[in-house]
Amino acid sequence: MLTKLSISNYALIDNLSIDFHQKLNSITGETGAGKSIMLGALGLILGNRADLSVLKDKSKKCVVEGNFEIGNYQLQPFFEENDLDYDTTTIIRREITVSGKFRAFINDTPVNLKTMRELGLCLIDIHSQHQNLELGNRRFQLDLVDTVSKTDKVLAQYRELYIGFISLQNELKELIAKSDKESADLDYWQFQFNQLSEADLKENEQEELEVLLEQLNHVEEIKNAFSEVQNLLDSDRFSVVLHLKESRKKLENIKSYIPEVAGLSERLQSSLLEVKDILDEIESLAINIEHDPAQLELINDRLNLIYSLQQKHHVNSVEELIVLRNSFDQKINKVTGYDDEIQKLKNNLEKSRLKLQEKSDELSTIRKTCFKHIEKAIIEDLQQLGMAKSKLEVVHEQLSDFTINGKDAVSFLFSANSDSEPAEISKVASGGEMSRLMLAIKNLLRKSKSLPTVIFDEIDSGVSGEIALKMGNIIKSFSDSTQIINITHLPQIAAKGDAHLMVYKFEDKGKTYTSIKHLNTDERIVELAKMVGGDSYSDATLRTAEELLNS
């Protein structure tokens, strides 16, 4: 429950600290006094968004801080999951700095808005007149059925199956679409593969052919070069070989006189052998160099084929063409394998659908068991609230397809009069009837689950007199198990509070401020008297106010 709310520099609030009773807190004040401002400030620590316009003094930061007693809410797992320090007295703080930065803290640990909002939903339920409009919303009605029938475990199991089912559906659609597209491309891929395959490409082939082509195009030049080298090294007119032999012989004759000459002689012998070896290789190469027009044509044709394939496929090497050929082969094989994959997915999808249908049926059965209980509980409260002839029916409809919430649709049909057939709430319920219906629903929810602090923002709109007294009694009984903060304009309901806080405006040095004060018994009587008869209250209205308070 919310034990304390501190607000500084927010809208018309300078500095304000409010202590709340653990049961029923009545908040009253004139229209425009600032009740909505306090709700706006409270919304900050519940994760609502804000902007710099809320700063009353642009030179100071805004701080909103709430103290909560959370020992009964079993929130330890939330704190562990978010790496937060758990304390039964938890402090949530939100700051808006002058520079425009927004900071959020839970027990002095910085958190993001999402984490703050998740915790806020566990601690406070704000009910406003706007929420009354949700009564006609089928999703709201189904959520109510799920809360009362306690489907949370089965619904979680269903949703897990549903997500898996949808995932399989999408996977199958994508695979079929891919198969259709690639099947349309199959002829193209097959043609390209056949062309590349028939080319019988080999790695390094292009380089070898280009070298051979150069040789064939320069046969005469090569042969002449070989011939000239042979003549230079070993001709009748001038022979390098002969001169090397003669040089070595001369050195052999004098090597006994100079020790170093033996080494030189050996080096000449090595050179002689190397030159002879070169001559042998040149002779061998020269024999294989012949002008061959037929071979030249074959090589040109082969290279032209390779070049045309490279240009067609925008690549620069035979190796890249081979990779491309293999990729076409893989695509062709994959298309032919889609049928088996598609059939396998269809089988898995059918198994998933059967499991989902089974869990959907279980969910429907659980929901249907609570329809009569919902009708009975709400009607009983409505009768206490002066709607003795009211009727409520929970109508079930089986949907044709699965949704995230199952295959069930429910609608609440309502009638306030015995001679009227129940119809959709949004079409037949007045504002006062909406307020009473919502209070009955909140009372039902209270009995079905542990609610956090509930804030009623003028839930009594559209009711008055005796009905207001009865509504006040229900709200009072509500507070036996749940902390209630009730903003009201009705004295009959305000008088039920265990604590009474009055919101008011005042001026100081030409500036307008909003504040709030706890009223003692005498002050409560005066405030209630004003609510009964206006500012010009009389002894009679004071007595009425005292009677309301004592009742």
Q: Residue 168 has what pLDDT?
A: 95
User: Measured between alpha carbons, how far is 456 from 475 in angstroms, rounded to an integer?
Assistant: 9
Task: Express as a percent the part of the chain with pLDDT over 70.
Answer: 97
Q: Residue 284 has what pLDDT?
A: 80
User: Measured between alpha carbons, how far is 438 from 467 in angstroms, rounded to an integer?
Assistant: 14
Q: Report the amino acid identity of residue 227.
A: S
pLDDT at 251 over 70: yes
Average pLDDT over residues 416-425: 87
Q: Residue 354 has what pLDDT?
A: 96
Decide: residue 208, CB within 10 A, 0-12 exposed, 13-18 middle, 19+ buried.
exposed
Contacts by 108-112 with C-beta closer than 8 Å and gap 24+?
109/83, 109/84, 109/85, 111/82, 111/84
Exposure class string for 469-486: b at 16+ Cβ within 10 A, else e: bbbbbbbbebbeebbbbb
DSSP string, 454-495: EEEESTTTT--HHHHHHHHHHHHHHTTTS-EEEE-S-HHHHT
Tens of pLDDT, residue by residue over 15-68, are 999 999 999 999 998 888 888 888 889 989 988 887 788 888 888 999 999 999
Q: Residue 18 has what pLDDT?
A: 93
User: Measured between alpha carbons, how far is 28 from 491 in angstroms, rounded to an integer?
Assistant: 9
User: Measured between alpha carbons, how far is 304 from 295 in angstroms, rounded to an integer?
Assistant: 14
Q: Residue 224 has what pLDDT?
A: 82
pLDDT at 336 over 70: no
Tens of pLDDT, residue by residue over 467-502, are 888 888 888 988 888 899 999 989 999 999 999 999
Look-up of token digits 């046969």: 219
Q: Residue 23 has what pLDDT?
A: 94
Task: Express as a percent the part of the chain with pLDDT over 90.
Answer: 37
Which of 335-349, 462-476, 508-522 shows the highest mean pLDDT?
508-522
Q: Which band of pLDDT confidence, cut at 50, 70 and 90, is reported for residue 112? A: very high
User: Measured between alpha carbons, how far is 391 from 383 in angstroms, rounded to an integer?
Assistant: 10
Rounded to two decimals, the pTM is 0.64
Q: Residue 425 has what pLDDT?
A: 86
pLDDT at 239 over 90: no
pLDDT at 130 over 60: no
| Of the candidates 213, 206, 211, 204, the residue with the CA atom closest to the CA atom of residue 292 | 213
Q: Which two tokens stand for residue 167?
A: 């995932």
Strands 13-19 vs 391-403: parallel, antiparallel or unpaired: unpaired
Tens of pLDDT, residue by residue over 116-129, are 999 998 888 887 66
Average pLDDT over residues 293-305: 82
Average of per-residue pLDDT values in the chain: 87
For the chain, what are the domain ranges? 2-128+370-518, 184-333
DSSP E strand boundaries for 190-232: none
Architecture of domain 2-128+370-518: 3-Layer(aba) Sandwich (3.40)
Q: Residue 396 has what pLDDT?
A: 94
Tens of pLDDT, residue by residue over 138-171, are 888 898 899 899 999 999 999 999 999 999 999 9
Tens of pLDDT, residue by residue over 432-469, are 788 888 888 888 887 777 667 888 888 777 777 788 88
Q: Residue 133 has what pLDDT?
A: 60
CB 464 within 8 A of CB 531: no
